[in-house]
Structure 1
């Protein structure tokens, strides 16, 4: 009996000794730089379109992380007219525009804006060896207005004197007619066509500048007009009577 008790005590002691390092390991897991766990959040490749004053901004890719849009800092910053730099030893990104300097550290949610600490929604981070940053923060810190069109999943960046552009207008196709047959919009504006009829309609410019797909009931498609002028258009299946005009100023 004594032998059994001794064996049980030794076995229990060994289990306890093994358990202590395991528990310690659970609490010693390193945190990302800056104390943010966002770097481990799911990264979903974004299908959003990004424009600058109505023209597409050339980015190889962008990602949605916790529903926030992250973009490659160099392409994005240079796209809005900023100068960029990178210090490998400290993993620090520098963006300069109009006398303002922003410094970001990979893995940190803290940003240095002309010596003032600002907290971003998530840290700058590496994705496929490229540094990605929060798009809205980097745009707005340099005075760029950010407008989002949920119907077209388009992020419109507007700068300087053009901040009145990039508006969105809606034209319904209903009762075999366009709801607004003659509208005037600003250059860079987006027009969203939505079919409310049971039959298919589309919108085709007489000069070929835009041509939507044939839209079924409830379907939408948008066009962005960046050049001033008068655009007359029609619905192909009903071109004899279903017509409209858009004046871009």
Structure 2
């Protein structure tokens, strides 16, 4: 195993542990769990499975809301190369949505796993 890969794995583990620690340290004042976000019926959903974006290229009309749903046990992010959108780290079952108001090609990636990439084409 090369040192770069070891450093990346260690960094991901540290981030995951830090996030889990923060969540675990929160007071349990809420009596009920927040409802899971669900995409509207017919709205495009990009699944995150096995360290890949399922529908790595998606073409949508202007004004479409696209939702990414993390089904992995690892944290993932969605970051636009053009910096028009960026998610917080998504845990298993978490989702992130963005409305595409302008036509164009939006290339995105996971900042924690840069080999994970995708493209949204808005027409």
Root-mean-square deviation (CA, aligned residues, Å) is 1.5
1:215 to 90, 96, 100: 90
Aligned pairs, number = 86
More strand by share: 1
**Structure 1 stretches lacking a partner, 5+ long:** 1-149, 155-166
Report what 2:58 is aligned to.
183
2:108 counterpart of 1:225: no
Q: Normalising by the residue count of structure 1, what TM-score does the alignment of the two structures yield?
A: 0.33
Larger radius of gyration: 1
Q: Deviations over 1:22-59 (max 9, x none)?
A: xxxxxxxxxxxxxxxxxxxxxxxxxxxxxxxxxxxxxx
2:38 to 142, 151, 156: 151
Q: Deviations over 1:42-94 (max 9, x none)?
A: xxxxxxxxxxxxxxxxxxxxxxxxxxxxxxxxxxxxxxxxxxxxxxxxxxxxx
2:79 counterpart of 1:204: yes
Q: Deviations over 1:128-187 (max 9, x none)?
A: xxxxxxxxxxxxxxxxxxxxxx726x8xxxxxxxxxxxx621001110000011110000
Report what 2:68 is aligned to.
193
Q: Normalising by the residue count of structure 2, what TM-score does the alignment of the two structures yield?
A: 0.66
**Structure 2 stretches lacking a partner, 5+ long:** 1-36
